[in-house]
Amino acid sequence: MALSTTPSQMSVALPTRIDGSSRSMIKVQSISFTDKSWGPPLLRLDSKSRSLGVKKRSTICMSLQQASKSKVLVTPLELEDPKETPLNLFRPKEPYTATIVSVERIVGPQAPGETCHIVIDHDGNVPYWEGQSYGVIPPGENPKKPGAPHNVRLYSIASTRYGDSFDGKTASLCVRRAIYYDPETGKEDPSKAGVCSNFLCNAKPGDKVKITGPSGKVMLLPEDDPKATHIMIATGTGVAPYRGYLRRMFMENVPNFKFDGLAWLFLGVANSDSLLYDEEFAGYRKDYPENFRYDKALSREEKNKKGGKMYVQDKIEEYSDEIFKLLDNGAHIYFCGLKGMMPGIQDTLKRVAEERGESWEQKLTQLRKNKQWHVEVY
């Protein structure tokens, strides 16, 4: 949670404990820093976090007026050591039982549907890297296999390896509640609600959740070149892995990764209330204008140049010349979200390539060969 000041900022992580009290506010005393003071702001905690009956970890990120920016220290640094990507440490037959720390709705009232940010305590036993996924096994029986558990559902992890509390013991998921509507009545049909997404969005602090993984190597963030360009394209909850990337690049003090390249995020959602982690991303754009660009496509609020709805592929087309030049110079490009996003994006890129006198098929083959092309859609 950021409390803004002017003119320049520094992020400080203050670990806190939530004592189970019924009060929803923690009052922060006035803080004096280099002869400048501010206070006493009130920090609101999610009501579901207040009743947590297990060991809790919460971090409040504040903005203090300061001459230069500072990043959040992370621990344990041993998480930087492994040379091999952590993969499938826990499998469906023997999942890890983790604990829900908090569930927070992160979209506004006018957003179609509900999306939640869910923090899970794995106590450091299921380490992962940015861009990987956890599997979740919801409770209950598989209706297609009586007596057997539900199938695993994969969710991209929306935090860095250090988690939202920066201690390497939690992971965050960005989950949209799956609901279904009767095509005849137009009303919601609760009997067909998404089993796993609704389990997660309905979860309470202290609830147990069975997780598998981590899995996936396609979306891992290449860190061998700290000056590299990363073009990130997402629809909806597909922004999850990019939140992890960006926190690692701009929020955390990671000794062996000092990012000084360009990160460019394109996010497509329905409207302003549907934007996910918007304040966090806007903060990076303000603090690191040379290193971070952020473009949004709001399909129900904006029009493309042809007068139609503005989708993420239309926003890409606006910057197509620049994007192609960056790709020619070795930029990585990532796609994450609903698989329905890819045909429109591919058509746009193909059209732009042809207008430039290039063969998109040849270019795509070269991007894949150079490991610049990263796709994870569902």
Taking the model in full, what pTM does it have? 0.81
Task: Provide the pLDDT confidence category of residue 95 given band limits of 50, 70 and 90.
Answer: very high
- Candidates 210, 212, 209, 216; CA nearest to 90 is 212
Q: What is the CATH number of domain 229-377?
A: 3.40.50.80
Output the pLDDT for position 143. 87
d(CA 111, CA 370): 39
Average pLDDT over residues 235-252: 97
Domain boundaries, the chain: 77-214, 229-377
Q: pLDDT digits over 124-179, tens only?
A: 999 999 999 999 999 999 988 989 999 999 999 999 999 999 999 999 999 999 98
Output the pLDDT for position 211. 98
Q: What is the CATH number of domain 77-214?
A: 2.40.30.10
HSE-CB of 62 using CA atoms within 13 angstroms: 21
Helices marked H in the chain: 47-50, 195-202, 240-246, 278-287, 312-318, 320-328, 341-355, 360-369
Residue 48: is its pLDDT beyond 60? no
Output the pLDDT for position 58. 40
Give the residue numbers marked as catalytic: 155-156, 336, 376, 378
Average pLDDT over residues 333-351: 92
- What mean pLDDT value characterizes the chain? 84
DSSP letter for each residue of 325-337: HHHHTT-EEEEEE
- The DSSP output letter for 36 is E
d(CA 113, CA 300): 14
Q: Is 198 in contact with 146 (CB distance < 8 Å)?
A: no
Consult the annotation and say whether 376 binds a ligand.
Answer: yes
Consult the annotation and say whether 315 binds a ligand.
Answer: no
d(CA 120, CA 172): 6
Q: pLDDT digits over 101-110, tens only?
A: 999 999 999 9
Output the pLDDT for position 185. 75
Q: pLDDT digits over 284-321, tens only?
A: 999 999 999 999 999 999 999 999 999 999 999 999 99
Consult the annotation and say whether 338 binds a ligand.
Answer: yes
